Structure 1
Amino acid sequence: MRRVEVEPLWDVVEEHLDEAEFLWGVWRHSLVAPDYTLDEVAEGPEERLFAHLEGLAVGGPVVAERLLLPALASDEPARVSAAALALLQGPRREEALAAIVEVLRARPQQRAPLVRALACVDPAMTGPRLRELLADYDEAVMAAAAEVLALHHAPLGDALGLLLASDDAATRAMALRAVADEPDLGRFVRAVTAGLQELGPSVLDAAIDAGVRMGLAPAWARARERMREVDGGAAMLLLALGGETDDIAAIVAALGDRKRRVAALWALGFHGTPEVVDAALEWLEDPVAGPLAGEVFSAVTGVDLAAAHMDLPREDDEALEHRPEDDLPRADPMAVLQWWTRHRERFVDGRRYVAGAAHSPAALARGLRFGAMRRRPGYLLELTLALPPASRPRVLLAAPTALQLRALAAMAPVE
């Protein structure tokens, strides 16, 4: 008996795509938000997003042909990512990958949203095809495949040398960040050292990051120069984690620079000593830096400002771009100062703390699993710097929570 094909309810299917496009942005924001944890992301934005993606995937080839494949060429990045992920979740993954590669060839400007979608798929399913693409004649395609593999901490082998020599700054920066996952780091010391002399900030920051992970002294020296620049926040964070006395003093001094104050507060919160709380609290009443100063206090003490009724009502936000720090609570300066005055003696000068607990790899691992999404990149970075290569977490913080939880469960126990 011949099977009868049922025409999809196109208004319903199109609504799934529209909702998936919207929720993709909501989900991506939740991954870096100060008011979400990993479990809350899974039970909230992610569950809603994947319900709509499933509604698209079950439509099969007819929905893919009429709706999803054309959406890969959309001018809206969130729509591109949502459509690509819906295709990759369908039963014809190889065909989906082939279609995505063709869009990458024809429209290199689609690389970023397509890479974000590819990174959301279990690398065991896409890895073999992506590895084949490392030998592709089109550098944009090769770089996209390499970026996805590197995001999942997979070594790139011989392709990495080609990418490090690219004329494209974004490709070189991506390749430098991938160096630390290679088994033979000695092969790339020269490339990283050359990157430390770059003038472009994206390549320079990537080279500093790679060099610090490799333990290269020139990388630390370059970070000290870079942190004095207005956009040197990434270097400032590395130095805060390194914890050298002179570096911490320089970061505290940066609080006096309006243009570097927010980056300095962010970095000091990860250093975590009571002295940095003392320095940060001076800025509680600052309209821009105040929420960041409150975050330093919470990061060190573990006090939840909202739960402890130590916050103020939010002010209306008229900014054109919504940033993660815009969701930080506004600390009540008087309540915070009174709490700190009563409890300051509990915190030993010179000793570091993570959410009220003594600083340790185990405390950082707890923060990575249960802490605010906004702070998890800092915990992951410090664990990466502190642990030997075999024990380092291999977690992609932009991946769906199921992939993140699996990577966290595979971590070696830390104490």
Structure 2
Amino acid sequence: MTVYSKAALAVAIAGCAAAIPAQAADSVAEALSDGKAYGDFRLRYESVEQDNGLDDASALTLRTKLGYQTGSVSGFSATVEMEDTRIVAGEGDYSVPPSGYKTGQYSVIADPETTELDQAFVQYTQGGVTAKLGRQVIAFDGHRHVGHVGWRQDKQTFDGLSMAYKASDKLSLNYAYINQRNRIFAEAADLDSKDHLVNASYQTGAGKLTAYSYLLELDQGNEATLDTYGLSFSGAAPAGNTKLLYSVEYATQSAEAGANEADADYLLLEGGVSAAGLTAKLGYEVLGSDDGAYGFATPLATLHKFNGWADIFLNTPAGGLVDSYVSLGGSLAGGKWALAYHDYSADDDSSGVDNYGSEVNAVYSKKFGKHYSAGVKYAAYSADELAVDTDKLWLWVGASF
């Protein structure tokens, strides 16, 4: 954590204390004693095999998360959460380049060993207003543009201020200012920033309409900016015993870094059917390109959730990305399963690269009682003109309280 971030958290806590009258000391003590402790543990094995010169990677890591949320006094409360990730039984044959761990020897598994302050914020809630100041999770609209990357052992959080206003049962307004992005590589790749996030949604009879503007600026080096404006609409409609699913989204983006400027568009079209315990979807997603020199970027997103679990496209190629996919999911033996197939190509093939490759994904997960869970997940990327063949396997068990 940077000195600035520590100071911001201290100011947040001091501000909360100052806002509570001295005569409310007993109430504060009661709020502290009546708070809620929580936590979860996730033991996960991950293996990566790639058709390149790197050794195959394997990792067995335990993620421990412990937190405490106080009770409320005059609308104020506080949350503190710690997170720790450890290699178990010496199974640490993998690389984490940003942290310098075994770089260049093994394939990448982005789960560094770390112990850090995951969240620490003061919250104020009154009526339809919720405000948080400090280190916190911020996620919007399925994590496509802003998310917590909870798939990795060290999830992404942000230092800053967030405000949410539930104007009515249908209208929600959100704003956040971020001064530090705490990324998934311990503290090795955290970034100072001056980010403004605006998200507004309205629930219509046919679905949810959302408008957003995510204005990102790195507060270091050449102070690169990335401005994204977009609209999305998603919903479901009954048709007898079947439910029809639909989503459409469009966004435009402008990027500037020093003397370099670029523009790109984003498009999502997705339709689906849910019936007899099965859900099938067909999708077409385009992260556009600026004449083969720049690809639409979503640096705050939960990227693993999109464009295949092999994580080939964590950074959009300069030629952009067209992801045509189909998925099928349902329930089995008390758990949930899903299969997906992706076909990847370039939005702009002026660089000579057109067909990127394809990928198959599969997952099964199950909860045991209220506190336990387990799962298995697999991704296989078959390269054509981009990257290399990649196979990934995950096995995990979890417990929470």
- Structure 1 length as normaliser, TM-score? 0.27
**Relative contact order, higher structure (CA 8 A, sep 6+):** 1
- Structure 2 length as normaliser, TM-score? 0.28
The structure in which a higher percent of residues are strand is 2
